[in-house]
Structure 1
Amino acid sequence: MIAIAVGGFFGAMARYGFYWLAESRAKHPKFATWFVNSAGSFAMGALIGSGNHSAFWLTGFLGAFTTFSTMALDAVKDFEDGKWLQGISYLAFTLLSGIVLFGAAYTWL
């Protein structure tokens, strides 16, 4: 339990740093969320593929690093603004890229 909490602390800090970096470069919050979630999916695939099932890394760090809720909020904002196609495309692209990146890292690393 302590390992998950400590991993979560560091994962949240890393998320903030990566999110800030991506947002400052792209000037688009959705890109930052997509980037962080994609990086987390890739990292999780790499860890599990290598046999590392550490609660610190998988549940703690990567659980706090990635976020479903921010992705959902971004999509809901699009839906509220009447941008249905944009919201659905964003969700589909984010989920698909996460699965592909996880699979690539799991298989090849």
Structure 2
Amino acid sequence: MMELLLIGIGGVCGAIARYTIGLVVAKHSSLSFPIGTYMINLTGAFLLGMSTAHTAALPLAQTVLERYGLQIGFIGAYTTFSTFGYEAIRLLEDGEWRYFFSYVAGSTILGLLACGAGYSIFGG
């Protein structure tokens, strides 16, 4: 039961953070490139890499808050693959081929690099 509570609290915070950051970025960007989701997913990948490396070094009993509250709850709600997919399709529909390829390739490659960078901070 404690795990569900931690996931719920983390999820609410992650969803609010994603929504707020998306609004702020959209307000300051006139690009048709979905920079808000791009930034959110890259920072989420970085945080998940850091958190995963950090929890790997801890005894299992000490990882409950970080695993359920941060990784599953907060980061799970903060990042968004479905919005990424939707925005990629919208770029295609709008004829924004260059942005489409930059978004898809950049999100994939830089997301992996961000996760690896985050992991290397604690995983050494």
| Secondary structure at the counterpart of residue 34 of structure 2 | helix
Kept in 2: contact 1:22–1:35 (CA 8 A): no
5+ residue gaps, structure 1, are none
- Counterpart selection for 1:49 from 39, 47, 53: 53
The amino acid of 2:13's aligned partner reads F
- Counterpart selection for 1:14 from 6, 12, 17: 17
Aligned residues: 109
Could you state the TM-score of these two structures normalised by the residue count of structure 2? 0.78
Q: Offset of 1:85 from its aligned partner?
A: 4.2
Percent of pairs with identical residues: 31
Distance in 2 of aligned mates of 1:30 and 1:91: 11
Higher Rg of the two aligned structures: 2
- Counterpart selection for 1:32 from 23, 36, 53: 36
Instruction: Find out whether 1:101 has 2:114 as its counterpart.
Output: yes
RMSD: 1.7
Aligned to 2:59: none
5+ residue gaps, structure 2, are 56-62
